[in-house]
Chains A and B, each alone.
Chain A
Amino acid sequence: MKMENMSLSGLDNTKLEALAQDIYSDLVEDACLGLCFEVHRAVKQGYFFLDDTDQESMKDFEIVDQPGVDIFGQVYNQWKNKECVCPNCNRSIAASRFAPHLEKCLGMGRNSSRIANRRIASSNNTNNKSESDQEDNDDVNDNDWSYGSEKKVLIRQMDNVLFSLPGELSSSVNTDPYKYNYNTGINYETLGPDELRSLLTTQCGVISEHTKKMCTRSQRCPQHTDQQRRAVRVFLLGLSATSLPDSNTAVESDGYDASDGQVLMSRLQWDGSSDISPSDSASSKASTNNSDSKKPKKKKKTSLNSTGGGGGGSGSVGGSSSQGCLAGQANRKKPKLPVPPAPSIYDNLN
């Protein structure tokens, strides 16, 4: 089309229409040509085929919109058995229980109130520095940024709560919906001596170095030895001479009430004496251990010595928290335990 210097004002309608028509057809032609060139180029450069997709597999990905199934056509709630590997300890954990496991694994357990208090302090600090806090300056009542105050309440609730064992302990009043039964182990830190005692009459109780939980298997559990079981009982209940009723009730625990000592003693009959055993169910388990320990006195003394010797070193794996726990327990029974926690337990576990 020729470029002409024309004044549009002088033209009548038909000429204007013709001009518009010309411009329009030019535009259409350009668009079509553009498309042609694109396709031509795609074919020549060899990528025209990319637009093709595999029809069959495309059907697999169609969205499903039916009741009772999700968009993939799968029924709900079939994912109960998923597992994953913990990046911290490399153990295989059920996916739906990974969060509580990770909390313990990373040493952030709720029961460790020191860590919790530290967390509260740091969460208040973090909230104050958070750059999204800007709009709160004018709101006096606005607390929902300081999650720390919420945490304080939660921690207090936690401290009053005992892990609920299947039928074993007096249950907490707490109806926390997110309380869970930690079936693979029990945290001894929150349990009082009474509970520990009754626990240890029926269960293996050896404390895992990984999770710091007590083994809930039977007293004949093959994963742990009797020596380990004895060591745990010494560690948790503070008695050294757990075998013989006629020896000093406890070498170190001078402050224990005599009656308590007797009761404790009878519960810890490992070595064949079929003396009073309040929990009958334990007696058969206890009796099978007879063959294992031939020289009770010496063995006990040995473990005692190692207990006495290694007192200070228990700071290695969460030892400090267990120290705190023991002191707590001791307070309930009045005296302090002169024997610090035994690192020998962990040695045995290794």
Chain B
Amino acid sequence: VCQDYIYDKDMEQIAKEEQRKAWKLQGRSSHLPLRRCVGEKYSTWEPTKRELELLRHNPKRRRITTNCTIGLRGLINLGNTCFMNCIVQALTHTPLLRDFFLSDRHKCEMQSNSCLVCEMSQLFQEFYSGHRSPHIPFRLLHLVWTHARHLAGYEQQDAHEFLIAALDVLHRHCKGDDNGKKANNPNNCSCIIDQIFTGGLQSDVTCQVCHGVSTTIDPFWDISLDLPGSSTPFWPLSPGGDGSTLNGESHLSGATTLTDCLRRFTRPEHLGSSAKIKCSGCHSYQESTKQLTMKKLPIVACFHLKRFEHSAKLRRKITTYVSFPLELDMTPFMASSKESRMNGQYQQSVDVFNNDNKYSLFAVVNHQGTLESGHYTTFIRQHKDQWFKCDDAIITKASIKDVLDSEGYLLFYHKQFLEYE
């Protein structure tokens, strides 16, 4: 009668249901990284009547645009807790983690009310509250020290150690595991921490005599890279190292690059006559070579530059400058690349259409000072190309040059292209 388009609730319900069934029937491939994420056809959010009412009554809506401070907040230093503050900044600016918590996806399964994941959720609320005064993360400190006793104690601590401990506690609490007693199979865990941070590191041990390969795959949350200037020798690189300008890093200047460190990490290493491995092919102890490659890359890859040397004789900080790129292609370090090299396929130039292994830098944790006393700060990326420096309670704008020129201790990279299941 009115000759206008109408939207009938019942019809739409039916249509939605049919669409959902059709989507399921199409079937999806199994190699996609995100498991059990949405499982349904993506549909944009539409508010319900109740939500509309609420929104109408509250007209002071904020929209997070590029020039908006919402999402950024300082953190008070509780007494040498900059090691914690810098990791909190990196985590709250991890896009997937942020989306998970802001869409309220955490369903608490902990018996007690000391769930670190709930506290993390609260942290995101604080960061997006619009408050300008810095947040005091005392509850977070209390929870972490309660659940990770080996960390507790008022001393200067290592940010990397804190990251691993925090991820571990978060992972346990996602499963409602209060005291680490439940058996966890890291290869099958589907908690948000594992979905985002867990990768698989493949270790191939090749017998020098029969060339049989024994392979193990271990989960990892981060990659610790040796640096030149440490007591372990950095060079020579693997035979595959071609001095080309991979990943846009300049080799001419002579500065070590992140790619150099990764190449060294994935080089075949001769284990020596004192470390013979029992070969199941030869049934005897033989010399062997060991090589590490990435079997499965996590969505967020954290690189830890081993700047703190704790060998028997000396303890020092290695301040060698390591240049790291904004965009990183992990393809040469993958197990699959190694296989194609071994199969005689000559490594072509980087396949520009294969986007699976491309990563973007989004957070850098830096340490200034000496081994005994120092200070941690973080650079984080917001709104695609804006960078900010987080120095405990003080957040300031930073340039990309500031970030790339910094020393670098923990480097956080995010996969560029995500496929949703």
Contacts and interface: CB of A to CB of B under 8 A. Distances in A.
B60 A54 contact: yes
A84 B136 contact: yes
B191 to A, nearest CB: 14
B78 A178 contact: no
Contacts of B70: 61
Interface string B58-79: 0111110101111010101111
Nearest to B396: A70
Contacts of A149: 310
B80 A57 contact: no
A161 B59 CA distance: 60
Interface in A127-161: 127, 130-132, 134-139, 141-144, 146-147, 149-151, 153-154
Given A41-B7, A108-B153, A131-B219, A61 B68 contact: yes
A106 B146 contact: yes
Nearest to B373: A177
Interface residues of A, number: 70
Given A41-B7, A103-B153, A134 B220 contact: yes
Contacts of B326: none
B76 A99 contact: no
B374 to A, nearest CB: 9
Contact of B154 (A47, A57, A100, A151): A100
B152 A119 contact: yes
A1 interface: no
Interface stretch (B29-37, B223-231, B352-360): B223-231
Nearest to A56: B60
A103 B154 contact: yes
A11 interface: no
Contacts of B221: 131-132
A348 interface: no
Given A40-B5, A62-B68, A63-B69, A95 B136 contact: yes
Given A54-B61, A70-B74, A98 B222 contact: no
A100 B79 contact: yes
Nearest to B64: A61
A103 B141 CA distance: 10
Interface in B267-315: 269, 271, 290, 292, 306, 308-312, 315
Secondary structure dominating the interface of B: loop
Contacts of B271: 138
Contacts of B232: 139, 141-142
B132, B231, B373 interface centre (most CB from chain A within 10 Å): B132
Contacts of B386: 63
Interface in A196-246: none
Nearest to B49: A46
Interface of B: 5-7, 46-47, 52, 55-56, 59-63, 65, 67-70, 72, 74, 76-81, 130, 132-134, 136, 138-139, 141-142, 145-146, 149-150, 152-156, 158, 161, 164, 168, 186, 201, 203, 218-224, 226, 230-232, 265, 269, 271, 290, 292, 306, 308-312, 315, 372-373, 386, 388, 393-397
Interface of A: 37, 40-41, 44-47, 49-50, 52-54, 57-58, 61-63, 65, 70-72, 74, 76, 79, 82, 84, 86-88, 95-100, 102-103, 106, 108, 110, 116, 119, 122-123, 126-127, 130-132, 134-139, 141-144, 146-147, 149-151, 153-154, 176-178, 180
5 closest Cβ contacts across the A-B interface?
A99-B79, A123-B150, A143-B310, A177-B373, A134-B218
23 contacts: A44-B5, A46-B52, A47-B46, A54-B60, A57-B60, A58-B62, A58-B63, A58-B68, A61-B130, A62-B69, A65-B397, A72-B132, A82-B136, A98-B141, A99-B141, A116-B153, A134-B220, A135-B201, A135-B265, A136-B224, A141-B231, A142-B306, A178-B156
